[in-house]
Structure 1
Amino acid sequence: MARPKIRALLIDISGTLMLGSAPTQRAVQALATLRRHGFPFRFCSNTSQESTSVLQKRMVEAGFDMQGGDSQELWTSLNAVQRHIQRRGLKRPYFLLSDAAKDECISAGLYDPSVRYDAVIVGFAPALMDYSHLNTAFRILVGEEDSQKGMGSEDPGTIPLIALHKARYIESSGHGHVLGPGPFVAALERATDREAEVLGKPSRGFFETVIESLESDREGRIAVIGDDVETDLGGGAIELCLWRILVKTGKYRGGDESREGVIGPDEVYESFAEFVDSLGLDCGSV
């Protein structure tokens, strides 16, 4: 299928723009090309081990031109969790998150340690993925945790299991693939017989929120680019008919796009920079 006219681009960060703290090949220059031509884009990250501000600082240090202030360019799963906590009025979630990620999620000032746990929120936090912490999460979800006893008769089935994302594995700089939060979320789902609410990619709600922030009146399709055909390009990206571009950097491994059960991308490129080159912006076309 021939590529449609692209009116805006949703860009994954880890593995697509950056590998650890270093940019992928020519990614800094490619992003500068998009900005120079006024091509609308948003950064979309499932980061859950570091705060959004730390991620933005790391991108600046890598050489990327980032807008500061009230810019809505950078969207993360932590942003989504913070909004979700405020919207649902959650007072005391049980966090399986790093301290930095947890602090960002509760920065709205709603957290009250004197009340019972009212949610379980899971992200990428390797130090917390042990039996003790997972068992506490399980006991909260089924109403057996000590803090819940004698504090009302709320049905434990109403306590939500919330996942920032369900990636089975992620790319660790210098170490290749490492286990992601997905298998731990799946264990809690199986043990409690409920399905987690996913707030980051590839949930439809996450993509819709980001798309609403775009002020593009250009004609054409919105595209999404990433290195994970499922977490970056699956789910809501398919439901919303986004043009899906897979890059062969980061966690990509040969044949990912043709694995059984995977809906293949619309295009595959060696890198983010190669895709931007294909837009022909410096030649006066899109």
Structure 2
Amino acid sequence: MNRRIRALLIDLSGTLHVGADPIAGAARAIQRLRDHKIPFRFCSNTSKESTNDLLKRLRDAGFIVHEDELFTSLNAMKRLLTERGIKRPLLLLSPSALDDFKDLSDEDNSAQDHDAVVVGLAPNSFTYNTLNQAFRILSSSNGQRPIPLLTTHRARYVRSSSGELSLGPGPFVTTLEVGVGDGCKAEIVGKPARAFFEVCLRDLGVGRKRDISDEDGQRDGEELKADHVAIIGDDIEADLGGGALELGLNRILVKTGKYRKGDEMKAGITPPDSVYESIAEIVDALLEEKGKSM
């Protein structure tokens, strides 16, 4: 364990839970972080359920989670749409996720003047007719400013509570890019986009002097830097790639969730800084390094 690590960004699905089932030792690991005042934020690409539904599921699974600690790709997407003045997006999102976009949702998604296409993990939306509608919208710029294709993430697969792998939104995003052509490229709003991580880091206090009022109670006045922060996840690409590398975060892969043997040695992938069996093992190592082990 890197002794410089002082704060954590923690993935949810596959790292803390799989479906409705908590991963063994994960709830206690989070509580130990709280007990020892280790700052952390939850950062998730979960885009199949609303913030309220996600919070309820985590709490039902035994986790203590505060809403202001939770950063999701859906939250980031909503913020981006607002910042860019996008008012009529075609939302390829699950019914639960649509709750976070009530002020933007067109109930039957039939409007012809859509100004963006938004893709999340929405299995019931990935039909020929719906994808064809998205294709037509993205192809309709007529020499004007291209209609943006935005995705919460582009993971190729996810792991269900049954333990089986299922297609993620990535292959469907690629289908739209290839179909539209002409340089159509989706913008990723969640992990591993650098902008997403930067929002999480700012909330943790990266770049701010530490004092007694801070979460970890340190008086040393040392500035919390990006390389003092570790990102923990089960997906070497979607959790630990992109912005995590650009920002110099410590990248820790867990062998739970969608992890498959050899992921850390894939060709063309920057290996993680460390690999652990589970988040419980990571917290054990972190607290032992800091001399705080219970």
Q: What do residues 92-129 of structure 1 show as CA deviations (whole Å, max 9, x unaligned)?
A: 1001111221231x24x355786710000001111111
Q: Is the 8 A contact 1:120 1:159 kept in 2?
A: yes
Tell me what 1:30 maps to: 29
Q: Is the 8 A contact 1:72 1:213 kept in 2?
A: no
Letter in 2 for 1:131: Y
Say yes or no: does 1:209 pair with 2:199: yes
Say yes or no: does 1:237 pair with 2:244: yes
Q: What do residues 4-31 of structure 1 show as CA deviations (whole Å, max 9, x unaligned)?
A: 4112100000000011112111111110
Q: What do residues 187-246 of structure 1 show as CA deviations (whole Å, max 9, x unaligned)?
A: 111122211010001100100011111136364611000000000000110011100000
Q: Is the 8 A contact 1:90 1:118 kept in 2?
A: yes
RMSD over equivalenced CA pairs, Å = 2.0
Deviation (angstroms), 1:51: 0.6
Say yes or no: does 1:182 pair with 2:190: no
From 121, 131, 135, the counterpart of 2:128: 131
Deviation (angstroms), 1:48: 1.1
Give, in whole Å, the separation in 1 of the partners of 2:124 and 2:40.
Answer: 34
Tell me what 1:271 maps to: 278
From 244, 254, 271, the counterpart of 2:261: 254
Give, in whole Å, the separation in 1 of the partners of 2:112 and 2:143.
Answer: 13
Q: Is the 8 A contact 1:258 1:264 kept in 2?
A: yes
Letter in 1 for 2:151: A
Tell me what 1:121 maps to: 118
Alpha carbons of 1:162 and 1:204: their partners in 2 closer, same or farther (altered >3 Å)? same
Give, in whole Å, the separation in 2 of the partners of 1:114 and 1:179.
Answer: 28
Q: Is the 8 A contact 2:89 2:104 kept in 1?
A: no
Give, in whole Å, the separation in 2 of the partners of 1:238 and 1:72.
Answer: 25
Query: Percent identity over the alignment?
Result: 52
Deviation (angstroms), 1:272: 0.3
Tell me what 2:214 maps to: none
Give, in whole Å, the separation in 2 of the partners of 1:110 and 1:57.
Answer: 24
Alignment of 1:138-217 (within 5 A): 138-143=135-140, 155=144, 157-193=145-181, 194-215=184-205, 217=210
Q: TM-score, normalised by structure 2?
A: 0.87
Deviation (angstroms), 1:283: 3.4
Alpha carbons of 1:143 and 1:233: their partners in 2 closer, same or farther (altered >3 Å)? same
Structure 2 residue runs of 5 or longer lacking an equivalent are: 211-221
Tell me what 1:39 maps to: 38
Letter in 1 for 2:254: V
Say yes or no: does 1:82 pair with 2:78: yes
Alpha carbons of 1:28 and 1:111: their partners in 2 closer, same or farther (altered >3 Å)? closer
Give, in whole Å, the separation in 1 of the partners of 2:12 and 2:56.
Answer: 13
Deviation (angstroms), 1:280: 2.1
Q: Is the 8 A contact 1:124 1:180 kept in 2?
A: yes
DSSP-derived class of the 1:158 partner:
coil
Say yes or no: does 1:20 pair with 2:14: no
Letter in 2 for 1:246: L
Give, in whole Å, the separation in 2 of the partners of 1:13 and 1:260.
Answer: 26
DSSP-derived class of the 1:213 partner:
helix
Give, in whole Å, the separation in 2 of the partners of 1:130 and 1:205.
Answer: 31
Give, in whole Å, the separation in 2 of the partners of 1:192 and 1:262.
Answer: 28
Give, in whole Å, the separation in 2 of the partners of 1:114 and 1:269.
Answer: 48
Tell me what 2:231 maps to: 224
Give, in whole Å, the separation in 2 of the partners of 1:110 and 1:174.
Answer: 34
Tell me what 1:147 maps to: none
DSSP-derived class of the 2:204 partner:
coil
Q: Is the 8 A contact 1:246 1:268 kept in 2?
A: yes
Q: TM-score, normalised by structure 1?
A: 0.89
